[in-house]
Amino acid sequence: MTEPVDPADAEDFLRLFYTEHPNEGDADRRVAWVRAEIDLTGTYHHTTAELTFGAQVAWRNSARCIGRLYWRSLRVRDLRAVRTADDVAEHCVQHLRQAWNGGKLRPLMSVFAPEAPNRPAPRIWNELLIRYAGYPTEDGGVLGDPRYLGFTDRVTTLGWRPTEPRGAFDVLPLVVETPEEGPRLYDLPADAVREVPITHPELPWLTELGLRWHAVPAISNIRMVIGGVSYPAAPFNGWYMGTEIGARNLADTERYNLLPEVARRLGLDTSSETTLWRDRALVELNRAVLHSFAAAGVTITDHHTESDRFLKHVAKEQRAGRTCPADWSWIVPPMSGSQTPVFHRYYDTEHLRPEFVLDDDAAHRGTHGGPSTPRRERPGTECPMWSYLH
């Protein structure tokens, strides 16, 4: 059972909203109205303006996000009246189409029904709306993305059948769960799954690896909390930072683990770590990602540019009289960290609200599929930020 909203949390948010929107009306009157609504129902209804501001500020407050310079540009689709699995899935597809925007990706959030006392909200199992399946092979390896072995097995037991022959980049189905219907599966249509083939500007053999990655990184299993009201289904996207794909998704040893193959093709000496073969292969793989997205006309950014932009955001927040919380371990890029300006400083660590929260059960569903015994783990390589992700 969802706990009633704390009126103090609601008032804190509303005071913030009216402080930053002094022309919106009488703050005291709105607070009194909301307190009465909470007394009567255990929760309250945000106006569309409050919802949009709350989503933007949740991004602004996200300590793991390096791309917060553009927090005001987030567009919010108010879908709180949508409750059936079919309708949630259809709006997720529409989200991907709208976010694509001809390759000029736009930061977008689709907010579905909130939790309320005695009325659970729809949930999305997937960590991201688009992810690739993982299949165990007879030799003990994995075809596809090892992170999603458990999720792939779970959706298979629920009735999903991948297209044969199976491949390394098979798009997983969307899983939407409602209290009335349970989990339901939906294959994403091809026009909603925009992918970029990975090539290299100077190494034609890289094309032979058959790599590709989806263009729109829409996170879908992180709960948004605004003024005490919890929105467990609020998919959002920005655009990728190249290292998310080239230094994490394709390179992590527990993901696609491509560095040994890239190093072999480059003719590097892999007999010792002191040759720095991993580092050399990593640079070329990341060059390929940035080159490929640019050649396809799809928005992406590099970690040096985004580090500079983040410090501009910090300075703007300070001039506005606000703190800017940041988690150093997430803000610093996963390659060449000391060559970026975000590496060489300390950050505020104050916890601010509105906020995004990764539930234990959401983390479990996203990689293992279905409600089960939750376990704590570091989320996927993407985290909440919406002008790109890392």
Distance CA 140, CA 210 (A): 22
Structure tokens that stand for 311 in this block: 């410090």
Residue 357 phi/psi, 5-degree rounding, is -130, 130
Q: One-letter amino acid identity for 215?
A: A
Measured from the Cβ of residue 194, the count of other Cβ atoms closer than 10 Å reads 19
Tell me if 231 sits within 8 A of 223, measured CB to CB. Answer: yes
278 exposure class (CB count in 10 Å sphere: 0-12, 13-18, 19+): middle
160 is catalytic: no
Asked if 295 and 206 count as a contact pair (C-beta separation under 8 A), the reply is no
Check 65, 92, 324, 383 and give the catalytic one: 65
Non-local (6+) Cβ contacts of 68 within 8 A are 59, 60, 62, 310, 313, 324, 385, 387
Q: Is 123 a catalytic residue?
A: no
Burial label for 35, CB within 10 Å (0-12, 13-18, 19+), is middle
Binding residues for heme: 65
Verify whether residue 92 is a known catalytic residue. no
Q: Is the CB of residue 333 less than 8 Å from the CB of residue 241?
A: yes
For 381, which DSSP code?
Answer: S
Helix (H, G, I), strand (E, B) or coil at 127: coil
For tokens 């999603």, the residue is: 148
Distance between CA 365 and CA 175 in Å, rounded?
10
Active-site option among 30, 60, 64, 68 = 68
239 catalytic, yes or no?
yes
d(CA 45, CA 298): 37
Q: Which of 71, 100, 125, 239 is catalytic?
A: 239
Q: Per the annotation, where are the binding residues?
A: 65
The rounded distance, in Å, linking the Cα atoms of 108 and 236 is 5
Residue 184 β-bridge partners: 176
Among residues 115, 127, 244, 382, the one annotated as catalytic is 244
335: Cα separation from own chain's centroid? 20
What distance in Å separates the CA atoms of residue 363 and residue 121, rounded to the nearest whole number?
A: 17
Question: Which sequence positions are flagged as catalytic?
Answer: 65, 68, 239, 244
